[in-house]
Each structure stands twice: as C-alpha cells, then as structure tokens.
Amino acid sequence: MNTANIKKFVIGVIIRSDETLSALIDVKGEIVAKDILKTSDYPEVGGFLQELSMRIMKLIELGGGHDHVRSVGISAPSGHFLSGSIVNSPNMPWKGVIPLAAMLQDQLGMAVALANNAYVTSLAEHSFGSARGMNDFIVVTLGSGMGSCIFSNGRVHQGYDGFAGEIGHTCVMTNGRQCGCGKKGCLEAYVGAKGIIRTAKELMEASDEPSLMRNLEKLSPRTIKECCDQGDQMAIEVYRRTGHMFGLGLANYASIVNPQAIILTGGISHAGDWLIDPTRESFEANVFGNMRGRVKLLVSKLDDRERDVLGASALAWEVPEYSLFK
Ligand SMILES: [Zn+2]
C-alpha cells in the first residue's frame, strides 16, 4: 500500500450567526490550526463565502495542500445534509436556500459536506461522546433554536426529504405561544432561549413576589440559572416549567422512536439539574409505560466547541473524496 496517498487532515467548519470557526484537524481529532471569522460582518452570503474560502485555503496550505487535506465538513444553522444547503434559516442574515456546500466545493476543489448542528453533534457523540457504542439514540441540541438528530440502527435517520428530527417544531400546546417558524405552540417556543426568557417575564408580571431576576441587567437562560444557584424561588420555577414542557416533548418523541438514550447538548443544557430534574420527572410521567425507566436522559460531557469541531471533522471523513486536481 502506498501510504503517501493517505490524507491525514480534514477541515471542520462551524457556522454560527455570530462567528464562524474553521479548523484543520488530523485523523485523531486533534486541532492543528484554527481560524475565527465574524459571521455578522457579512450581511450578504457572497462576501462571506469569498472570505471563508480564502481562510480555508490558508488552513489547507498549512496542512500541506490538497495532497494531504481530504475534505471539508460544515455545521450550519438549518443546514440540510442531502442538498448541502442552508434552507430558510430563521436565525441567519442570509434568507432563502443557499447551496453553500456546492459553492464552496467549486471554490476549493475539494469535497464539502454540510449538515445542521444536531446532525454534526450526533456524529461527535457517537464517535467520541456519551453515545459511543450505541446504535439507537437521539441527540437534542438546545440553544436559541432547538434541533435533534435520530440515530437508528447505527445510522442517521434523515427522513424522505432530509428534515427528520424537528422536535422543536412539534406542537405541545394548541393555540399556544407564537413560534419563529410561523406556527403556534411549538416546543421551542417554551424551551428555547426566547421561550425561557418569556416564561421568566410572565412569572415576574404575574406577581409582586421578590426575585433576583428583577434586578438582572440582562435576562438570559444563563443569568436565570445563576439566580437558581442563589436559591431564587421564581427562577427555579422558570426552569421547573421549562423542564415540564421539555419532558413532555421528549416523552412523545421517545414513545415513537424508542431510543436507548436521549443526549442533551447546547447552551441551555448547562442549566444542569435545575432543568434536568423537572425534565426527567415530566418525561417519566408522560412516556409510554413500557419505556418508563428504560430511556437514559444524559447531558453531553463533551466541551461544546470541541464537540462541534469533532463532529464537523467526522462529517468530513464520511463524505466521498473529490478533487478537481486529479
Ligand atoms: Zn415552530
């Protein structure tokens, strides 16, 4: 075997609404070099693409060029794996359908795969995290938006059009809160960052009870959690209500999919037991009886940043190799 032709690196890219991280990663998952670009500086996707491909080219050069760097894996909000496009993202400045993987593949002359955050996260959890050795599990990412990915029989279940796993936009309340997707009563409207803030505001408006939350300069899932840590009863109630809705949504999901585990990731999962205890209680109360006590509810142990990059590299290794230069 000619080992000189085995490529040792891939590029992992994490696109977020505020910044985009690109990294050169070796076969062991070690980050060799990285670059951070401010996504919010580019209201037009064309300018963003030019800058991103230039920065990725620099990382490819650092890795020894196209002979040594194999492919690119990208995590993007509303990323659609089957088409390699960002599809109608409510959280990004670029509207409509953006075929980012194809555009970048043309620029770089190298295979590019793109998926949403939940998909990429689930690859990382399967290869490096809590789902190692599991074939049937769900990863739920919880931040400003809410996504999930279903692993079934050891593979990602994508659905007919590749949109499977939209747990955030399943209805948990008839005529409930308005969601960013246009529907009413979606789980995300209660459990996503904006939903948690709204619950806190509703509780504060409903009574004159004192609460540390009233003195906060900025109400956010993190600052509300900090109030919980100081024993603030109203803040604890915010997460109790959030956990109640979350557990209900997850119980419906698990009753259909029957996973071995549900792994929670994303910023809001850092609320820890303030969120997880009521979620677990509501989950067990609402899940189908034969699954009660059988589904593990786990919080990811991987570092957020590291997990995303590892997942993007796993995605890059999965894509078939392609080169303009062969
Ligand atoms: Zn929705």
Cα of 70 from ligand 1 centre, angstroms:
37
From the list 292, 237, 227, 304, the residue with the least C-alpha distance to 264 is 304
Cβ(67)–Cβ(323) below 8 Å: no
Place of tokens 């009870």: 209
3-state secondary structure of 284: helix
3-state secondary structure of 216: coil
Cα dihedral: 179, 181, 182, 188 (round 10): -20
- Which residues have C-beta under 5 Å from ligand 1, the single-atom ion? 169, 179, 181, 183, 186
Cα of 207 from ligand 1 centre, angstroms:
29
Q: What are phi and psi of 249, to 5 degrees?
A: -60, -45
Give the containing element (helix H, strand E) for 209. Answer: none
Can you give the pLDDT at residue 325?
58
Can you give the pLDDT at residue 1?
47
Give the residues of the chain that fall short of pLDDT 50. Answer: 1
pLDDT digits (tens, 9 = 90+) for 232-285: 999 999 999 999 999 999 999 999 999 999 999 988 999 999 999 999 999 999
Cα of 212 from ligand 1 centre, angstroms:
30
Beta strands 155-157 and 97-98 are unpaired
Half-sphere exposure of residue 290: CA atoms within 13 angstroms, side-chain side: 5
Cα of 151 from ligand 1 centre, angstroms:
22
Can you give the pLDDT at residue 145?
84
pLDDT digits (tens, 9 = 90+) for 72-108: 999 998 899 999 999 988 778 898 999 999 999 999 9
Cβ(42)–Cβ(20) below 8 Å: no
